[in-house]
Structure 1
């Protein structure tokens, strides 16, 4: 196994004997300067078919969070069946790091659907609770119990998107949502980017909450007003998307759901993933 690029001290991009690219996990695999032949006994995990964009995104995620995410997905595979691969590890790691940022900035993710998640997805919720224990043990981060629900929903979404349960209506809504964003902001979104897939993940969560009448809805009006003032153009996009979703599901999105949508749109379009 030839290392061609080090992502961090414990993760490297390699070429196997068939010249296929593979992301490799292992203690200290990224210490030496590439290219070099890494002993197979130092390799703990290998992941094929990882997109170039996702490989680049790994540089932005702390190694210790990647390690914890890998451990959580191992638990999920044991409990739920061997169905979660590299993408699940990397997107969950990004979710954890973003959750840590929210906590540091005192942005509270209120999930009134906690009881519904534990009842409707008990296995995934079990993994969510175990994830919080592992995160606290390995990273020293004490998340609120709502984050167990958020991680459970992350797993549910991954299962749905990889088993064909996502219906045609959801796909159409995503396409129409992206069309609104590109039209109103005069941008072209890179559909292969990590941030685009993160936004799509958020929207699938949102659709699920809308369908089950479990929308996030608290009295966080001051933050909602502040974010709308800070991002007026994106807020207009979110209003159009709110109308689109409202017509599709015959429900009205809460202000807090719109607020989180604004934040996710801004995060996606404030990076290099959009051509202006």
Structure 2
């Protein structure tokens, strides 16, 4: 590979044998190199190519200032998340997570630890992403001799929640989605004066439904299917209390987000609430 631009002693933009520009990293890999010089491939520890040019440029800018060790930590966590969560991530995770880890380490070394008021809700509603955050904190603490905790694990989890969508319009919504889920759950708890078994299948179904519901609210989208007024009328009488509870959620959503829940949305909410409370 030929050097196109050196970033620092440990990183460079190089052109591979297919004529594609890639980021190459490794201790001393770019030391003393000039454009068009050949790289010593024995010093190349990793290469990275991001399809989105803007994302690639942002990550390249980060590499100039972020220590190699922290870039390795971010990549290690992303690879762990791919196995743990089993979803495809938007490429921007390489930029956002690397930058976040770098800043979090700097803050921790300056004695500044941020509180995350949503941490336990994130842990409940996004257990896999929170587990990734916990693993990230463990790796960072061991590698950088800092003492990050569950607040930071939740912040990191948010990056993965956001990166699970390829649609940029759906990104950076995780906090608001979590707020909607929490409020809807509270409405059901208060209406039926109860608590829920958070390990149960019906609770999992309910929370999963709320996640997609909250996302549609924030994007101002509705189900594409036709409204079934007859079925909703049947549910209104057969599941009277769950239906009344779903109507309270409908009122909250309209008041807070100016979003009108359709009959189909109300139907699905009623069904999931019924499943959740049927044994009360």
1: CA distance, partners of 2:254 / 2:103: 29
1: CA distance, partners of 2:253 / 2:11: 43
Quickly say closer, same or farther: Cα 1:105–1:213, change in 2 above 3 A.
Answer: farther
Match for residue 120 of structure 1 among 119, 125, 131:
125
Partner of 2:50: 48
Partner of 1:204: 173
Match for residue 98 of structure 2 among 89, 93, 100:
93
2: CA distance, partners of 1:46 / 1:85: 15
Quickly say closer, same or farther: Cα 1:121–1:209, change in 2 above 3 A.
Answer: closer
2: CA distance, partners of 1:105 / 1:83: 35
What is the Cα deviation at residue 100 of structure 1? 3.1
What is the Cα deviation at residue 11 of structure 1? 2.6
1:17-32 alignment to 2 at 5 Å?
A: 17-32=17-32
What is the Cα deviation at residue 64 of structure 1? 2.2
2: CA distance, partners of 1:250 / 1:29: 58
Length, aligned pairs only: 185
Determine if contact 2:10/2:28 at 8 Å carries over to the other structure. yes
Report the aligned-residue RMSD.
Answer: 3.2
Larger Rg: 2
Determine if contact 2:115/2:151 at 8 Å carries over to the other structure. yes
Determine if contact 1:26/1:45 at 8 Å carries over to the other structure. no
What is the Cα deviation at residue 135 of structure 1? 0.5
What is the Cα deviation at residue 95 of structure 1? 0.8
1: CA distance, partners of 2:30 / 2:137: 28
SS of 1:110 mapped into structure 2: coil
Q: Deviations over 1:35-65 (max 9, x none)?
A: 3222445342322334334422332323321
Quickly say closer, same or farther: Cα 1:154–1:48, change in 2 above 3 A.
Answer: closer
Determine if contact 2:9/2:30 at 8 Å carries over to the other structure. yes
Moved segments of 4+, more than 6 Å: none
2: CA distance, partners of 1:157 / 1:85: 8
Deviates most, 64-73 or 32-41: 32-41
Match for residue 141 of structure 2 among 131, 136, 140:
136
Q: Deviations over 1:129-179 (max 9, x none)?
A: 11111101212222122111111111111013x2x4x7xxx56xxxxxxxx
Determine if contact 1:132/1:148 at 8 Å carries over to the other structure. yes
Determine if contact 2:87/2:164 at 8 Å carries over to the other structure. no
Quickly say closer, same or farther: Cα 1:211–1:25, change in 2 above 3 A.
Answer: farther
Quickly say closer, same or farther: Cα 1:98–1:75, change in 2 above 3 A.
Answer: same
User: Normalising to structure 1: TM-score of the pair?
Assistant: 0.56
Gaps of 5+ in 2: 184-251, 258-280
Gaps of 5+ in 1: 172-200, 215-246, 253-276
User: Normalising to structure 2: TM-score of the pair?
Assistant: 0.56
1:126-165 alignment to 2 at 5 Å?
A: 126-160=131-165, 162=166, 164=167
Quickly say closer, same or farther: Cα 1:65–1:85, change in 2 above 3 A.
Answer: farther
Match for residue 80 of structure 1 among 78, 85, 93:
85
Determine if contact 2:7/2:64 at 8 Å carries over to the other structure. yes
